[in-house]
A and B are shown apart, each in its own frame.
Chain A
Amino acid sequence: MGDNVAETGSPDHDGNASTHRSDRETLLNASGLTKRFGDILANDNVDLVLNKGEIHALLGENGAGKSTLVKMFYGSLDPDAGEISWNGRKVSINNPAAARELGIGMVFQHFSLFEALTVVENIALALPNPGKMQDLAKRVETVSRDYGLPLSPGDIVADLPVGIRQRIEIVRCLLQEPQLIIMDEPTSVLTPQEADQLFVTLQRLANEGCAVLYISHRLEEVKRICHHATILRHGKVVRECDPTKETAASLASMMVGADVASVSSGEGEAQVGQTRLTLQKLNAAAATPFATALNGVSLDLKAGEVVAIAGVAGNGQGELFDAISGEMRVSPDMVLLDGTPCGNKSITWRRKQNAAFVPEERLGHGAVPGMKLSQNIVLTRHSTGDRLVGGGFVSNAEAGNLEQRIKKAFDVRMSHDDPEARSLSGGNLQKFVVGRELDREPGILVVNQPTWGVDAGAAALIRQALIDLARSGSAVLVISQDLDEIFEIADRIAVISRGFLSAAEPAAQMTRERVGLLMAGGAETQGEVA
């Protein structure tokens, strides 16, 4: 992944941003688009104009309707009302093939790649007439090199890191010679250097006259590369603006409709106490060909501090979490809780040692979708002194009380009392699964992706709660891909890359550049030396 990181600098965009928007030719004009899912109006009378050569940001909180809108442009959803005109002609885009024929390409947030297939097979699937595989492979090689996103066509996707996978998506788009590329959160899985590389490519596409519709939660990035922004709230367009003339904070408040609370890490230095969690040369072979092996991971987590582990997805975060929580058993001496070797102990044993764990995947892993919230509480807290189970029987009353308490403390919004976990929206469920463990006031908390897919307000609430827990004397380990989050809450930062963990360094001494280099493989060399 480390290739072509070093030679790319910050892209130049000043020249374009100053061009008057009205000078550009209109490419796509959507008016009155409306889409309803059941009771929810996902898009309500949305108007949007995209111009040629323009990088257009689409901003909004989770559930504001951004994905719904672009899916209608890409033909994967049919609008209930409204129309789309393309190059001045009214069109109806009934399926993605029709969209591609018009010249609309899309890079998906959750990649639409086929892991078991090769790079060139993945690309062939998106082209109407891919021709012979050998010829296409050559074209893929040329075009990808040409745009500075080199790919080897014969690789199987499952073997490739996320950064490369995104290249496949982009090259797949480019081969269709699109006039509009839609990108849904493209940088959420990239290192800062890889993101810079992407911006250069986008800039080049815009200069060639291609329009880019860019969805991102990262407002600094939007300010840097986008010429125009449309802001959605609750399915409606609330504002349009020139993001270069705004601040990240003003963009955020337009999205939320109110000022976003900032997270405060309390007064002065963290009061660090004794070591609660120790990892000693933690090794674990990859369980499947698609998993990452852990290579000699060592870490001390002390009472009163927040340690954050940064890294691009798929570099061993899941495996590391599993080894700490006890989902994956390792040698006893590799994981110690308060000095007691417990690498081979069960998750319940560790919970009884006053540790708590919040896994990444909230639905299906953090919570059983078809069970009520109170039942989900019993599942993780049955033997940690909450009197939820007595004589083998579950106390529904106690579980219900806890559910009420968590609901109040973390502002979990639900349509009726004690619903099934699957009926909660992603952000609300995340507040619940984090709240369920925080409510115990555990001495050690390990949480993987605490605010993944959570909107700004809820994210601030969760981050504040994590900091408050640490300040009250607990040890908190946060695994996250969100660098903003990490710099906001961490006292020390370590970086995981291909299963190697760098030494945790005080956050004050870390810079984004350094974290980025470690993400791109620096942690590996450091880990090997250590």
Chain B
Amino acid sequence: MFEAVLLTVITAATPLLIAAVGELVVERSGVLNLGVEGMMIMGAVIGFAVANQTGSGSLGVIAAIAAGMAMSALFAVLVLFLVANQVATGLALTILGIGLSGMIGEAFIGVPGLDLPQLYIPVLSELPFFGPVFFQQDALVYLSFVLVAVVAYGLFRTRIGLVLRAVGDNHGSAHALGYSVVRVRFAAILFGGACAGLAGAYLSLAYTPQWVENMTAGRGWIALALVVFASWLPLRVVIGAYLFGAVSVLNLHAQALEFDIPSQLLSSLPYLATILVLVLISANRRLTLVNTPACLGKPFVPDR
């Protein structure tokens, strides 16, 4: 029983984790992309459609990543080159994604999906308890952890990460030193789009292998909130995503047990718990402020 619960926690947390880590990179570069939900759902529908048509889960995942990147490229052109308002553009991207995915996905409603195969890590997967939980997952779960590790290392230990943080902290200075603010941000936005698309593919190919209209159900927004509450630190995003996953799964089980608590209140628990814990761990205001990208959401126009 406990194993089963833990397994569902992982599947609930993975899409949040992937999308949030992508958005973290975007925001660290100083861009606020509120279109995560829209990019995610486009990833879900395109991933499902391609996997369904070709019969290949991997192709589906790749197509989903491409879809997320295409959406984010649209956003990047609007906010970086045409200096459109980031908040409004992000919101529009979400609305566009939800509408477009509904249209594309119409033919796939009720079509049985393709489940990504589980990968059994040799030896480790045979461990009692830990084996099934941690080493008999699909490839995307492993990938999400690799992604977090790469992003955490890349941000704080490599030159690319340093430049990215510099651009997010003070784009005027970065420009004065000769870094291309627009190029760095473009790359970051594309990375965020790829992650959101991947997260969408996880939903329609692994979490619930089918296409349902509006199936992201606000997960993109939760990923956005996680980034902020996690003070833009990758490891905290892991804590937040798993906590949110855990409480939402527990909540489902609690509802099944029919406690004498209104179900609406239970449904709000994941949100409350996540906010509470992340607020508590970000009680160190200094750390939070140092990690907040100072140029977040500010448009940049080079004076040349």
Residues of A within 8 A of B (CB): 75-78, 95-98, 100, 108, 111-117, 121, 124-126, 130, 156, 158, 288-290
Contact of B178 among A97, A117, A288 (CB under 8 A): A97
A130 adjacent to B178 (CB under 8 Å)? no
Contact of B286 among A95, A111, A115, A289 (CB under 8 A): A289
B289 adjacent to A288 (CB under 8 Å)? yes
A115 adjacent to B169 (CB under 8 Å)? yes
A289 adjacent to B177 (CB under 8 Å)? no
A113 cross-chain contacts in B, Cβ below 8 A: 170, 173
Q: A114-B170, A117-B169, A125-B166 are in contact. Are A108 and B176 (CB under 8 A)?
A: yes
A130 cross-chain contacts in B, Cβ below 8 A: 159
B174 cross-chain contacts in A, Cβ below 8 A: 114, 125
Shortest Cβ-Cβ A-B pairs, 9 listed? A96-B178, A112-B173, A97-B178, A289-B286, A114-B169, A112-B176, A116-B169, A95-B178, A116-B290
**Distance of A121 Cα from B167 Cα, bound (Å):** 13
Measured between C-beta atoms, what is the minimum distance from B290 to chain A in Å? 5
A113 nearest in chain B by CB position = B173
B285 cross-chain contacts in A, Cβ below 8 A: 288-289
Is the CB of B8 closer than 8 A to any CB of chain A? no
Contact of A289 among B162, B170, B172, B289 (CB under 8 A): B289
**Distance of A158 Cα from B292 Cα, bound (Å):** 13
A78 adjacent to B177 (CB under 8 Å)? no
Q: Which of B33-64 contact A (CB under 8 A)?
A: none
A108 nearest in chain B by CB position = B176
| Most A CB within 10 A of own CB, among B163, B175, B178, B289 | B178
A117 adjacent to B166 (CB under 8 Å)? yes
A290 nearest in chain B by CB position = B289
B156 nearest in chain A by CB position = A121
B157 nearest in chain A by CB position = A133
A75 cross-chain contacts in B, Cβ below 8 A: 178
**Distance of A288 Cα from B285 Cα, bound (Å):** 8
**Distance of A294 Cα from B179 Cα, bound (Å):** 38
Contact of B165 among A76, A100, A116, A126 (CB under 8 A): A116
Q: Chain B binding site: helix, strand, loop or mixed by DSSP?
A: helix
B294 cross-chain contacts in A, Cβ below 8 A: 115-116
Measured between C-beta atoms, what is the minimum distance from B276 to chain A in Å? 23
B177 adjacent to A96 (CB under 8 Å)? yes
Measured between C-beta atoms, what is the minimum distance from B56 to chain A in Å? 43
Is the CB of B183 closer than 8 A to any CB of chain A? no
B178 adjacent to A289 (CB under 8 Å)? no
B163 cross-chain contacts in A, Cβ below 8 A: 125
B165 adjacent to A124 (CB under 8 Å)? no
Give the size range of B's interface with the partner. Answer: 20 to 34
**Distance of A31 Cα from B294 Cα, bound (Å):** 40
**Distance of A116 Cα from B165 Cα, bound (Å):** 9
A156 adjacent to B290 (CB under 8 Å)? yes
Apart from A100-B178, A289-B285, what are 18 other A-B pairs with CB-CB below 8 Å? A75-B178, A76-B175, A76-B178, A76-B304, A97-B178, A108-B176, A112-B173, A113-B173, A114-B169, A115-B169, A116-B165, A117-B166, A121-B162, A125-B162, A125-B166, A288-B285, A288-B289, A289-B290
**Distance of A115 Cα from B286 Cα, bound (Å):** 12
Is the CB of B291 closer than 8 A to any CB of chain A? yes
**Can you list 6 contacts pairing A with B, beta carbon distance less than 8 Å?**
A97-B178, A114-B165, A116-B293, A125-B162, A125-B177, A288-B289
**Distance of A121 Cα from B165 Cα, bound (Å):** 10
A114 adjacent to B173 (CB under 8 Å)? yes
B167 nearest in chain A by CB position = A114
**Distance of A112 Cα from B165 Cα, bound (Å):** 14
User: Beta-carbon contacts of B166-208 to A below 8 Å, as 1s and 0s?
Assistant: 1001101111111100000000000000000000000000000
Q: A97-B178, A117-B169 are in contact. Are A124 and B290 (CB under 8 A)?
A: no
A77 cross-chain contacts in B, Cβ below 8 A: 303-304
**Distance of A95 Cα from B290 Cα, bound (Å):** 29
B170 adjacent to A115 (CB under 8 Å)? yes
**Distance of A418 Cα from B106 Cα, bound (Å):** 57
B168 nearest in chain A by CB position = A116
B165 cross-chain contacts in A, Cβ below 8 A: 114, 116-117
Q: A114-B173, A116-B294, A156-B290 are in contact. Are A124 and B178 (CB under 8 A)?
A: no
B304 cross-chain contacts in A, Cβ below 8 A: 76-78
Measured between C-beta atoms, what is the minimum distance from A509 to chain B in Å? 41
B172 cross-chain contacts in A, Cβ below 8 A: 112
Measured between C-beta atoms, what is the minimum distance from A488 to chain B in Å? 33
Q: A77-B304, A113-B170 are in contact. Are A124 and B176 (CB under 8 A)?
A: no
**Distance of A78 Cα from B302 Cα, bound (Å):** 12
Q: A96-B176, A108-B176, A289-B285 are in contact. Are A158 and B290 (CB under 8 A)?
A: yes
Q: Which of B210-257 contact A (CB under 8 A)?
A: none
A116 cross-chain contacts in B, Cβ below 8 A: 165, 169, 290-294
**Distance of A126 Cα from B174 Cα, bound (Å):** 9
A100 cross-chain contacts in B, Cβ below 8 A: 178
**Distance of A114 Cα from B165 Cα, bound (Å):** 9
**Distance of A114 Cα from B291 Cα, bound (Å):** 12
**Distance of A114 Cα from B177 Cα, bound (Å):** 11
**Distance of A59 Cα from B159 Cα, bound (Å):** 38
A112 adjacent to B159 (CB under 8 Å)? no
A95 nearest in chain B by CB position = B178
B289 nearest in chain A by CB position = A289
A112 nearest in chain B by CB position = B173
Measured between C-beta atoms, what is the minimum distance from B17 to chain A in Å? 24
User: Beta-carbon contacts of B109-127 to A below 8 Å, as 1s and 0s?
Assistant: 0000000000000000000
B175 cross-chain contacts in A, Cβ below 8 A: 76
**Distance of A290 Cα from B165 Cα, bound (Å):** 18
A117 cross-chain contacts in B, Cβ below 8 A: 162, 165-166, 169
B291 cross-chain contacts in A, Cβ below 8 A: 116
**Distance of A115 Cα from B165 Cα, bound (Å):** 11
Measured between C-beta atoms, what is the minimum distance from B183 to chain A in Å? 12
